[in-house]
Structure 1
Amino acid sequence: MSIADVAVIGGGQAGLATAHVARSRGLVPVVLDASAGPGGSWPHYYDSLTLFSPARFSSLPGLPFPVAPDRYPLRDEVVDYLTAYTARLDAEVRFGQRVARVTRSTGGFTVSTTLGTVVEARVVVAASGGFGAPYRPPLPGLDGFTGTVLHAADYREPMGFAGARVVVVGGGNSAVQIAVELAEVARVTVSARRPVRWQPQRYLGRDFHWWLARAGVDTAWWGPRLAGGTVPVIDDGRYRAAVRAGRPDRRPSFARLDGEVVVWADGTRERVDVLLLATGYRPDVGYLAGAGGLDATGAPLHRAGVSATVPGLGYVGLERQRSFASATLRGVGRDAAHVLSVLARDRAAHAAAAR
């Protein structure tokens, strides 16, 4: 059994940022990660993934991204960066340790892994992201679809789809980027409830994220509300041009699936080989089920990353948990600092009240 000030669940960008902030405050963190090695979810994303924010806006606290500031890093460069960050981190990071459950104890929490490792900690920060919990929406007829169903989490590269008829469900960045790539070798449709909302990557010679930071939107609590519940597709011009040219084409959500057939909203029926769900993720926090921190759907009950029901429990890496930048490389450090500050304050107040 190990004893720590902070047990951090997840060794990706959110967990590493949390451990860094904890060490900077004199705390002893232990990071538990289910993966075999560093990089978090990044080694499992599709091969061509490129960050939509330039390197100057894509760093964790304490280590600038080691490429030209205005370059848009590739997936493998992010993996290399997180690997280097892990090596430099003055904290214990244990890989291959999938957390099975978190329970409350007299001193705080007991964190148990599937391999039998036990960590006792005063504070727990769930930073496991959502890659382990891809979201499959309840599409009409999905369970009976006889073609191939994939989630974006399963997609790597386009060559295995040559000549196929593919429908990509979703209208966000990943949906459009994957669909445009697939359209080079397959017949592809992007199907979404709402029209794609385009955001130019650069404006007046500056990257979109520069303007967000300049206006304070990137870190403001009200920033996510500007999106109106949708995420714009950040585009340098290529993706919008491809969709306008019909490669891929874009259609409203289909009415239902019928065997291997997609029934479109106008009643047209079309055989489809592959349904690719670019429908996002949900927080991968099932290990908290017995700790009282989740609602009936398994979602965290929290306020700005601090548990609303379990003292000493926090979250880092949840989408929009505090700002537009939450869950991104540039945002997790700020969220980690906030969460650890609030947890420390609450713990001190509880101790004072007990005296």
Structure 2
Amino acid sequence: MKQVIIIGAGHAGLATAYLLMQKGYRKVVILEASDRVGTAWRTRYEGLTLFTSKRYSALPGMKMSGHADDYPSKQEFVEYLEHYATTFSLDIRFNNKVIDVQNELDGFTVSCSNGEIYLSKMLFVCTGAFQIPHSFQLSRHAFYHGRVFTPESIADRHLTCINENWLVIGDGASGRQLAKMLAEKNQVVLSTGKQRKFLPQRLFGKDIFFWLDKLGLTWLSKRRWLAKRIQMKDPFPADGITNNQLAKLGIKLHERFDLNNLKSKSQLHLYGNAIDKVIIATGYTNNFSWLEGCLFRQNVDKPIYERAREIRGLYLLSQPWLSCRGSGLIMGIEHDFNRLNLLEC
């Protein structure tokens, strides 16, 4: 029996391994580039809280400890992932960074940076949706020469600084949470983009995802008109970080801001304060260059999920809107897994 290879030991990779084992696949191997599970979560800023409660943040087969309606911290979730991997004795090969995948006649050849080579009939890409923060390159003509951080690179000591002037560029959940944390002891300007749509974290005493689930909105096919509207508006739970709530904390809301468009040093002063430090929180991008050998040779104009679907035995999970709104959420892994047409090994 050939082994099944999963790339990535984050929540998606661990859940996929468990689900495969439940279906009778015994030789399931997870390849992880780092030396621990959940690296993407570990590198996020301290103070991060998931916007799904423990009830909807648990992986298949194991509940999270504590009250199901509590919202787990980053550290709680990382510890849960470690416990999950140990409980189900998942076969994780750490320090195996995948650098190349070739599609052979009878399966895949997976090459790692440490020289290891794995053969597999089925390959699951579970590297997640938050791989690389959007890079921000200042032009050589830019007038700003201060520190620039991302939600991954900012250290705890910067989040506990006092009386500094911060500019946060990007008003998604991460940008808003960071602005709120910094505003306790600093002056903060939040640069906003498109008009945001917010959801309450709880409604009538229930997690908002309880209602979205009951109404069928979480699992509504992305091809439906309503799903397309939801994708375009991209609402997210924002208790405590709406525009009005942030303004009450003294945070200044500013229109879209680009450091490269500054015409003079005087423009580094927002609301009378010179910018000391900047956080770029404008989202993430994926890196699938290691799949070039089997994926990028064909139909390069199609979205990656469509190209992956055309290759026998290759499966992509835990990406936003693979099939529905829930695809990019922790709770959506099992839903999308159950839609797959698995091969026999």
Q: Which has the larger displacement, 176-185 or 284-293?
A: 284-293
Q: Which has the larger displacement, 178-187 or 136-145?
A: 136-145
Provide the residue aligned with 1:170 in structure 2.
Answer: 170
How far is the alpha carbon of 1:81 from its aligned partner? 0.7
Q: For residues 203-242 of structure 1, what are the alpha-carbon distances to aligned partners after superposition, in whole Å with 9 as ceiling and x for unaligned? A: 2222211111110111222375243424334233465554
Q: Is the 8 A contact 2:129 2:328 kept in 1?
A: no
Amino acid aligned to 1:10: G
Amino acid aligned to 1:245: K
2: distance between equivalents of 1:80 and 1:260? 48
1: distance between equivalents of 2:328 and 2:165? 33
Q: Which has the larger displacement, 183-192 or 307-316?
A: 307-316
2: distance between equivalents of 1:227 and 1:137? 28
2: distance between equivalents of 1:81 and 1:186? 33
Provide the residue aligned with 1:10 in structure 2.
Answer: 8
How far is the alpha carbon of 1:51 from its aligned partner? 1.3
The reply to whether residue 217 of structure 1 matches residue 222 of structure 2 is: no
TM-score, normalised via structure 1 length = 0.84
SS in structure 2 opposite 1:119?
Answer: strand
Amino acid aligned to 1:327: G
How far is the alpha carbon of 1:333 from its aligned partner? 2.1
Name stretches of at least 5 consecutive residues in structure 2 with no aligned partner.
Answer: none
Q: Is the 8 A contact 1:152 1:276 kept in 2?
A: yes
Structure 2 residue aligned with 1:234, among 234, 237, 243?
237
C-alpha RMSD over aligned residues = 3.1
The reply to whether residue 292 of structure 1 matches residue 295 of structure 2 is: yes
Q: Is the 8 A contact 1:4 1:30 kept in 2?
A: no
1: distance between equivalents of 2:67 and 2:241? 22
Provide the residue aligned with 1:243 in structure 2.
Answer: 246
Q: Is the 8 A contact 1:21 1:337 kept in 2?
A: no
Amino acid aligned to 1:273: D
Q: Is the 8 A contact 1:165 1:272 kept in 2?
A: yes
How far is the alpha carbon of 1:135 from its aligned partner? 1.4
> 5 Å matches for 1:189-208?
189-208=189-208
1: distance between equivalents of 2:200 and 2:141? 34
Provide the residue aligned with 2:332 in structure 1.
Answer: 331
How far is the alpha carbon of 1:320 from its aligned partner? 2.0
Name stretches of at least 5 consecutive residues in structure 1 with no aligned partner.
Answer: 349-355
Relative distance call for 1:202 and 1:139 in structure 2 (3 A) is: farther
> 5 Å matches for 1:152-167?
152-157=151-156, 158-159=158-159, 161-167=161-167
2: distance between equivalents of 1:47 and 1:299? 37
Q: Give the aligned length.
A: 338
How far is the alpha carbon of 1:315 from its aligned partner? 0.8
Q: Is the 8 A contact 1:166 1:186 kept in 2?
A: yes
Q: Which has the larger displacement, 79-88 or 31-40?
A: 31-40
Relative distance call for 1:33 and 1:211 in structure 2 (3 A) is: same
Relative distance call for 1:298 and 1:116 in structure 2 (3 A) is: farther
Q: Is the 8 A contact 1:263 1:270 kept in 2?
A: no
Amino acid aligned to 1:285: F
How far is the alpha carbon of 1:263 from its aligned partner? 4.5
Q: Is the 8 A contact 1:23 1:90 kept in 2?
A: no
Relative distance call for 1:24 and 1:228 in structure 2 (3 A) is: closer
SS in structure 1 opposite 2:6?
Answer: strand
SS in structure 2 opposite 1:302?
Answer: helix
Question: Runs in 1 of length 4+ with deviation above 6 angstroms?
Answer: 138-144, 267-270, 294-299
Relative distance call for 1:193 and 1:297 in structure 2 (3 A) is: farther
> 5 Å matches for 1:40-189?
40-136=39-135, 145-157=144-156, 158-159=158-159, 161-189=161-189
Provide the residue aligned with 1:352 in structure 2.
Answer: none
Q: Is the 8 A contact 1:140 1:255 kept in 2?
A: no
2: distance between equivalents of 1:162 and 1:297? 49
2: distance between equivalents of 1:236 and 1:219? 23
TM-score, normalised via structure 2 length = 0.87
Identity rate, percent? 26
Structure 1 residue aligned with 2:18, among 20, 23, 28?
20
Q: Is the 8 A contact 1:10 1:32 kept in 2?
A: yes
Q: Is the 8 A contact 2:129 2:320 kept in 1?
A: no
2: distance between equivalents of 1:142 and 1:233? 36
Relative distance call for 1:247 and 1:40 in structure 2 (3 A) is: same
Q: Which has the larger displacement, 154-163 or 206-215?
A: 154-163
2: distance between equivalents of 1:36 and 1:46? 19
Q: For residues 98-136 of structure 1, what are the alpha-carbon distances to aligned partners after superposition, in whole Å with 9 as ceiling and x for unaligned? A: 111111123210011101111100011111124442113
How far is the alpha carbon of 1:174 from its aligned partner? 0.9
2: distance between equivalents of 1:133 and 1:95? 20
Relative distance call for 1:261 and 1:328 in structure 2 (3 A) is: farther
